Amino acid sequence: MNKLMEKKPILHAILWILIYVVMVNIGDMLSELTEFPYLTGLLLLALSVFMALYLKESGRVSLYGIKKITKQDARKTLFYIPMILLAFIQLFAGIVPALSITKVAIACLLMIGTGFVEELIFRGFLFYGIYGKSGVNKAIIISGITFGIGHIVNLLRGYTSLEQLEQIVIAIMLGIVLALLVAITKNIIPGILFHIVFNITGTISNAEGNISTYLMLAILVISLFYAIYLYRFVQKSNEY
């Protein structure tokens, strides 16, 4: 795997995407069979630990954007501030009634694994793999679209075709925004934190029916305009 990471980074990223998809599908099937709803999250949490150790052993931790935020880079990290709105806008519909502290705590714990795994694969392995071969523009677009298509795994979770389409479109748009932010900051840690919070608020949100559609449209519109702004910033930068 280390040789693949070095010599064929894009193929390396694709392999990890396949591993992720297989893990999610296995987790979902076992969750249904055992009637234990947290199994997929636990598998992804275990996978996140394995991937962290794997990356550390490879000696390429900082290469894929996992590094401390220095004072010099702090200003660029401010570009993540609008993402706070996207993370918490889902709570405008309220919180699921009778949601216990235990369930919230479990959701928070399990989403750590999901956020880390998805950001490392799509904004780490895939983004930087394409970036090194084809430049920043292709890295942004391809990693964003691939992230959205990766959400096709939700077909096995009982989503309707419309809900599935909404999930994919939102994921593509957020994937592009997050890729733009990585291009600017050279760091995936803020994206991991956003991803975790976004998933948690989505899990505990009481958004249903029309309210859910309105919130998704709001997220889509905000993401679109912010992506345009960030893209212009990237194009004006002398770093690319």
**What pLDDT, on the 0 to 100 scale, is given for residue 156?**
55
List CB contacts of 9: < 8 A, sequence separation 6 or more: 125, 128, 129, 132, 133
**φ, ψ (nearest 5 deg) of residue 36:** -115, 100
Distance in angstroms (rounded) separating the CA atoms of residues 205 and 211: 11
Predicted TM-score of the model (pTM): 0.91
Which of 128, 127, 118, 129 is CA-nearest to residue 11? 129
**What pLDDT, on the 0 to 100 scale, is given for residue 172?**
95
Locate 50 and state its tokens. Answer: 């394995």
Digit-by-digit pLDDT tens for the chain (240 residues) are: 777 888 899 999 999 999 998 998 888 888 889 888 888 889 999 999 999 999 999 888 988 999 988 877 888 999 999 999 999 998 888 888 877 788 788 888 889 999 999 999 999 999 999 999 999 999 999 999 999 988 776 555 566 677 778 888 999 999 999 999 999 999 999 999 999 999 999 888 877 767 888 888 999 999 999 999 999 999 987 665
Distance in angstroms (rounded) separating the CA atoms of residues 185 and 79: 9
Distance in angstroms (rounded) separating the CA atoms of residues 111 and 96: 17
**What pLDDT, on the 0 to 100 scale, is given for residue 240?**
55
Q: Where are the alpha helices (DSSP H) in the chain?
A: 2-7, 9-34, 39-58, 71-77, 81-88, 101-119, 127-134, 136-149, 161-185, 189-204, 209-236
Structural domain total, the chain: 1
**What pLDDT, on the 0 to 100 scale, is given for residue 65?**
92
**What pLDDT, on the 0 to 100 scale, is given for residue 175?**
96
Quote the domain boundaries for residue 91.
Answer: 2-66+75-236
